[in-house]
Structure 1
Amino acid sequence: MESVTNVMEYEILAKEKLPKMIYDYYASGAEDQWTLQENRNAFSRILFRPRILIDVSNIDTTTSVLGFKVSMPIMVAPTAMQKMAHPEGEYATARATSAAGTIMTLSSGATSSVEEVASTGPGIRFFQLYRFCSIHLQIGRPVVFSLAVDGEVGVRKVLQMLHDEFELTMALSGCRSIKEITRSHITTPWDPPRITPRL
């Protein structure tokens, strides 16, 4: 899908393509969806502070997770029942994640076994036994929506888009490596007010 320019556009396209029941399964949260909405609202209130006059011509987004080197601090979260979104399901996600150089976490509710996913080729893969915690960003919905719309190609594209957005954010924040990112690079509504002297 060459017309997709934003990760969130995949959700709109997936809604058009998937049967309503399957789309609702992926798009909804528990019960009244209050937590889902609060999470989205909380993330939208976190802003990055732009920096200027810093050489960001060479940015390194690589990091490591549990000793595994990855291309970016973005991992594919455990997302169940991927074959409802696309016939290749977890196979396509595993191949695309491997090509992107990051980690796929296979859901305990997957429609493919650990052995089947491992047979798709090399890659770093984790398995969700019950609960997985990480300081790295995990994405699930954008991956499954892009899978529904465009299969493996869609997953590859969404991972590339996320990488590019992360790299751009690093550049605008004046960070050349993951190690340079600190709390001072973001601002939130709950931060104490910054008083700037008047000239």
Structure 2
Amino acid sequence: MPSNSSEFAQRIPADIRCAQDYEIAAQGTMSEASYAYVAGGTGQDLSVAANLAAFAKWSVYPRVLRDVKEGHTRVQLGAQTLAHPILLAPVAFQKLAHPLAEIATAHAAQAMESCIVCSTLATSPLEEVAAAAGSEKWFQLYFQTKREDTLQLLRRAEAAGFRAIVVTLDASIQVASMRALKAGFRMPEDCLAVNLPQLEQQKVELSAGASRIFQGMMLAAPTWSDLTWLMSQTSLPVWVKGVMHPEDARALQAAGVAGIVVSNHGGRSLDGAPASLSVLPAIRALVGQDFPLLLDGGIRSGTDVFKAIALGANAVLIGRLQMYALSVAGALGVAHMIKLLCEELEICMALAGCATLADIDANALLPHL
């Protein structure tokens, strides 16, 4: 992979004119195999394609004679007020894109008043990520096989100053995409999940007739009892990421979670799952207007952010664009990408006659027939 050394100042390429341009530019800064891994999902990338296509199914109505001179993009998420609704998703193994990895991303989040969600599978110590980030920082948690290991991660996140826990529940099984496999992707030796205990991998011995999936890979998958236990162990707000079914959303709301991230894991979990945007309206209808919902998956522009909010999201998470911008120009690139998304959102809001996020609703959109 071409070197993105921190020893020299990186610059934003002159041909970056919109946030999505970073997706193209990253093909020249990442190795072919690493780019294939980041861009791909799982299987045939059906859900990756669905996420992108879902936004193209909607147009935005332009409006006239609206007074938006006092416009802003502030959003309230629980007890936190953010300057804009664009958060950085928990993306694993960021050293694939840049030597400074999550540290650079955290600096960008601080500069742009964004909230970073640090992954359990970060390649930088979570304490260092927290120190580099601003006050708005959340920690994404994967349940570990042993509860004491999960609890250790939780306590470290609390001590580091993360303000919320985001539990991912939809990724017990992840299979690399055909695209990444064909490109020969292998995780580099220096690309390690440094926050996980370095335990010897114990191979599960299956009995005759047992399933490698059900009795093997899913053996340690979290259940309701695990989530209930986790929520009893912390005073921090606990969000759940990876929710796609309205009934799951309603049950989680009843269980007392702080909010939900509507997400198909960027197409990296169940290939053939619907687009995150497609299920968002039904989930919003079931949980009501006051329950916090974030959307993850497929956003490539500020207009996409507008559409997600119109269909029920309070804010959005940016995943792949984060990695592309990090690869191209490090912390500066990620900050610039967020700035472009914010400006694209403001342009869309202004021309659609929406002075605040609260003014955006489904009446602003027209579905393509």
| TM-score, normalization by structure 1 | 0.91
Aligned partner of 1:125: which letter? K
The aligned counterpart of 1:197 is none
Runs of 4+ that moved beyond 6 A:
none
The aligned counterpart of 2:140 is 128
Aligned partner of 2:355: which letter? R
Residues 137-176 of structure 1: pairs in structure 2 closer than 5 A? 137-176=316-355
The aligned counterpart of 2:98 is 86
- 8 Å contact 2:109–2:133 — kept in the other structure? no
CA positional deviation for 1:4: 0.5
Q: Distance in 2 between matches of 1:31 and 1:121?
A: 34
CA positional deviation for 1:109: 1.4
Aligned residue for 2:117, secondary structure, equals strand
1:117 and 2:107 matched: no
Which of 41, 44, 47 is matched with 1:32 structurally? Answer: 44
Q: Distance in 1 between matches of 2:362 and 2:97?
A: 37
Task: Provide Cα deviations, 1:132-170, integer angstroms capped at 9, x if missing partner.
Answer: 212321111111100000001100100000000011111
The aligned counterpart of 2:35 is 23
1:179 and 2:358 matched: yes
Aligned residue for 1:128, secondary structure, equals strand
CA positional deviation for 1:121: 4.7
- 8 Å contact 2:64–2:351 — kept in the other structure? yes
Q: Distance in 2 between matches of 1:77 and 1:5?
A: 22
Q: Distance in 2 between matches of 1:113 and 1:47?
A: 42
The aligned counterpart of 1:6 is 18
Q: Distance in 1 between matches of 2:42 and 2:63?
A: 39
Consecutive unaligned residues of structure 1, counting only runs of 5 or more, are: 191-199
Name the stretch that deviates more: 181-190 or 101-110: 181-190
Aligned residue for 1:86, secondary structure, equals coil
Aligned residue for 2:137, secondary structure, equals strand
Consecutive unaligned residues of structure 2, counting only runs of 5 or more, are: 1-11, 142-166, 169-240, 242-260, 262-293, 295-312
Task: Provide Cα deviations, 1:7-63, integer angstroms capped at 9, x if missing partner.
Answer: 111111111111111111111111100010011001111221110111222311011
Q: Distance in 2 between matches of 1:7 and 1:121?
A: 22
CA positional deviation for 1:94: 0.7
Q: Distance in 2 between matches of 1:46 and 1:109?
A: 34
- 8 Å contact 2:74–2:85 — kept in the other structure? yes
Q: Distance in 2 between matches of 1:123 and 1:96?
A: 13
Aligned residue for 1:59, secondary structure, equals coil
Larger Rg: 2
Aligned partner of 1:64: which letter? Q
Count residues with an aligned counterpart: 190
- 8 Å contact 2:113–2:134 — kept in the other structure? no
Aligned residue for 1:138, secondary structure, equals strand
Aligned partner of 2:350: which letter? A
The aligned counterpart of 1:72 is 84
Task: Provide Cα deviations, 1:57-79, integer angstroms capped at 9, x if missing partner.
Answer: 23110112222111111111111
- 8 Å contact 2:102–2:124 — kept in the other structure? yes
